[in-house]
Amino acid sequence: MARALSRAGIGVLRFDFAGIGQSGGGPESTNFAADVEDLVAASSAMSEAGMAPALLVGHSLGGAAALVAAADLPDIKAVATIAAPVDLHLVLDQFAPDSLARIMADGEAEIEIGGRPFVIRRKFLDELERHDVRESAAGLRRPLLVLQSPTDAIVGIEQASAIFLAAKHPKSFVSLDSGNHLLTDPGDANYAAMVIAAWASRYLPPLGRDVPQMEQANRVSASETGAGALQVEIRSGRHRLLADEPESVGGLASGLSPYEFLSAGLAACTIMTMRTYADRKQIPLNRAHVTVVHGKDPTMTPSDRFDRTITLEGPLDEAQRARLLAIADRCPVDLTLVRGSDVRTMLSGAPVDPAAMPVDP
């Protein structure tokens, strides 16, 4: 979801709560109050770095924490929750009876929720008594988007309904259809991210430029050569290239087709972005190779699809490979293709409104 949101132009800070995942925190940090404090601390850190957050997205218990934390985050413009419980005691239903008994007797126990292990201490249970998510939703006074799957076996849809009913307008409710609690199907996660991005666009600052333009890009011009029916000479600065189409469609096959140039731009930009990142982070990337194949799928919207295959050479571990793969999705050409662009057309000499010009189909 973080990757899909970034593709939509929303910069994302994603982190493990203290004591969860690979963050290195101890089990004593695993409690709901600490989750809320972590959110506030993360927001403060972003603000101090000049990137004050405007959107807060929380999943499951993190969604409940987002609603509670929002009271201490006045700069947050909108909040989205995914599969969030309104009744924090619902978490206890996920604990096996013997786990609860061990927590009460020994002070802590390792349990499994949604296939992931968590070390839970008695303090966590005690903290559940101190927070009222319904009250936090009612006092939010900011736009709220509630996303929930009706087939979620861990957090029922009635929990999301209670959050939605408690909140004041503006508020929206979106059903995630057949998604499970963890949204393990990439299609469900991408859909949720696209919904959040579209909804949040009304409340977030205008989309800015991703990469500072260090120098003005060279003008690109194209002219017919007269050789063959479709051959075109492309000029950019001191560079000269030929564009053409295959012989099967009337060309001479003397150069890349327009879509091949587009694929080439994506492939080149991907490698340059990964190389810059690897050098800056001292990742031992020896060499990168990218293959891009363009095709059309009439069952998709938009129908154009670019299949990109990345090969990385060097003594890289899995974490480094994952980081390079993630940064590949942030290359400027990738973002341009995903978001779409505005193309303005004019005749040389004076602007002309293309909509006012007759077109012969």
Please report the DSSP string for 99-154 in residue order: HHHHHHHHSEEEEEETTEEEEEEHHHHHHGGG--HHHHHHT--S-EEEEE-TT-SS
Residues 68, 146, single domain; the answer is: yes
Please check the confidence at residue 20 and state whether its pLDDT lies above 60.
no
Residue 311 region by backbone torsions, left for phi larger than 0, else alpha for psi between -120 and 50, else beta: beta
Mapping DSSP to helix (H, G, I), strand (E, B) and coil, where does residue 10 land? coil
In terms of Cα–Cα distance, which of 90, 207, 83, 62 is closest to 145? 83
CB–CB of 11/51 below 8 Å? yes
Element spanning 55, H or E? strand 55-59
pLDDT for res 78: 94
CATH of the domain at 288: 3.30.300.20
* CA 40 to chain CA centroid, nearest Å: 21
Higher pLDDT, 37 or 292: 292
Q: Give the length of the chain.
A: 361
Q: Is residue 240 part of a domain?
A: no
Identify the domain containing residue 264 by its residue range. 256-339
pLDDT in tens, 106-133: 777 776 665 666 677 666 666 666 678 8
pTM of the model: 0.54
Q: Is residue 328 part of a domain?
A: yes
Please check the confidence at residue 257 and state whether its pLDDT lies above 70.
yes
Residues 136, 267, single domain; the answer is: no
Residues 265, 123, single domain; the answer is: no
Residues 195, 265, single domain; the answer is: no
pLDDT for res 179: 81
